[in-house]
């Protein structure tokens, strides 16, 4: 059978697998069996699925496949971070990053080929935008990382997943939410909702929908404490200004079953957003929002217009926030020697058209 007619089972949720097997005249429990084989055991072949009948395994081999993105290149960092360049079916490339730490391992997952937003301090934004990733291309990154990091599947290496790679996750809403549901599913990866984090620049309507659809941790790519500055650094702020974003964060927290906080991401740009006045504005902005702040030293890239704040400035900014009662840390830069640090992911993107057109089309899809 031709490859074009083969169904990629990584592109199906458990419910989707149920419909697939129902179309084959198979009982519903087959979906759970195969779902577990794919996501818990990391199977990429049907002949290893020992609790599935031989006839069905042969049939699946004819009409289905388990296919994740292809590894083109792996780059290890001196600090243990690993970055992979992954090729998609259409030849586009994305990047994913694994960051090992004491007691945990974090996988940074991409959601789009490029990014439709135009944050001025981000290397991904300079690449333009091509398309959203499919479900198989998103959850396939975790599936692939588990196989690469623990080939014998004797231990779970990835304990945390952050949707902080290439792209704005909330502009690929349906596929990102379904991928996160699979990551949380006990029949799949069984991640804790506190160990699965989505980072957004502030697509407010989608953020409200997110709170209704799935319970995960939230990070806000803020980077400025006032609208005029954020308009320049994070242009989506012109449509959804800070006041709207903070109100959406409050609504998100109100929907959560357990007490939680929003993580505020704030990249430190020398002479741009790192003064004591900026710190005081940020303190006032976050006064009523349960939050913690991650200060991110700016990671440079070719053609960048900014410099990283000095260590003294970062420390002073951190100390002011901390003294006000805001839990604040300075994020340790990881993988900088392989361009795997925050804001440095680039991949290989065929920029298809003007960003504004894509952003509007993606918003229209969210509204439908």
Q: Which residues are catalytic?
A: 95, 342
| Closest to 166 measured CA to CA, from 221, 89, 92, 111 | 111
- The 3-class SS string of 310-343 reads CHHHHHHHHHHHHHCCCEEEECCCCCHHHCCCCC
Contacts 24+ apart (CB under 8 A), 148-151: 148/71, 148/74, 148/84, 149/98, 149/105
Residue 177 Cα to chain centre, angstroms = 11
| CA quadruple 245, 250, 256, 259: dihedral sign | positive
Token digits of residue 204: 């407010």
Neighbours of 155 (CB within 10 A): 8
| CA quadruple 269, 320, 203, 244: dihedral sign | negative
Spatial CB neighbours of 339, under 8 Å, sequence gap ≥ 6: 83, 123, 301, 345, 346
Q: Determine contact, residues 207/217, Cβ cutoff 8 Å.
A: no
């Amino acid at each position: 059978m031709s490859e074009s007619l083969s169904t990629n089972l990584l592109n199906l949720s458990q419910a989707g697998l149920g419909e697939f097997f129902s179309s084959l005249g198979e009982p519903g429990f087959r979906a759970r069996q195969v779902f577990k084989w794919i996501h818990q055991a990391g199977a990429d072949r049907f002949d290893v699925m020992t609790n599935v009948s031989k006839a069905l395994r042969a049939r699946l081999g004819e009409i289905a496949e388990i296919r994740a993105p292809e590894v083109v290149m792996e780059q290890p960092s001196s600090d243990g971070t690993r970055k992979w360049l992954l090729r998609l079916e259409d030849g586009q490339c994305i990047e994913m990053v694994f960051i090992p730490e004491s007691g945990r391992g974090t996988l940074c997952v991409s959601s789009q080929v490029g990014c439709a937003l135009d944050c001025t301090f981000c290397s991904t934004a300079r690449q333009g935008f091509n398309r959203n990733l499919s479900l198989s291309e998103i959850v396939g990154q975790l599936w692939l990382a588990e196989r690469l990091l623990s080939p014998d599947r004797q231990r779970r290496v990835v304990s945390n997943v952050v949707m902080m790679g290439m792209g704005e996750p909330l502009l690929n809403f349906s596929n990102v939410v379904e991928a996160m549901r699979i990551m949380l599913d006990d029949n799949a990866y069984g991640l804790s909702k506190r160990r699965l984090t989505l980072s957004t620049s502030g697509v407010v309507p989608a953020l409200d929908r997110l709170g209704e659809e799935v319970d995960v941790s939230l990070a806000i790519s803020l980077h400025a404490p006032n609208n005029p500055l954020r308009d320049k650094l994070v242009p989506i702020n012109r449509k959804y200004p800070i006041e709207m974003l903070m109100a959406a964060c409050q609504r998100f927290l109100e929907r959560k079953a357990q007490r939680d906080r929003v993580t505020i991401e704030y990249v430190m740009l020398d002479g741009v957003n790192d003064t004591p006045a900026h710190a005081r504005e940020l303190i006032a902005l976050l006064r009523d929002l349960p939050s913690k702040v991650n200060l991110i030293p700016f990671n440079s890239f070719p053609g960048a217009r900014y410099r990283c704040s000095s260590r003294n400035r970062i420390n002073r900014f951190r100390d002011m926030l901390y003294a006000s009662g805001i839990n604040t840390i300075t994020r340790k830069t990881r993988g900088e020697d392989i361009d795997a640090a925050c804001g440095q992911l680039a991949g290989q993107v065929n920029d298809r058209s003007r960003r504004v057109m894509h952003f509007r089309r993606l918003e229209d899809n969210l509204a439908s």
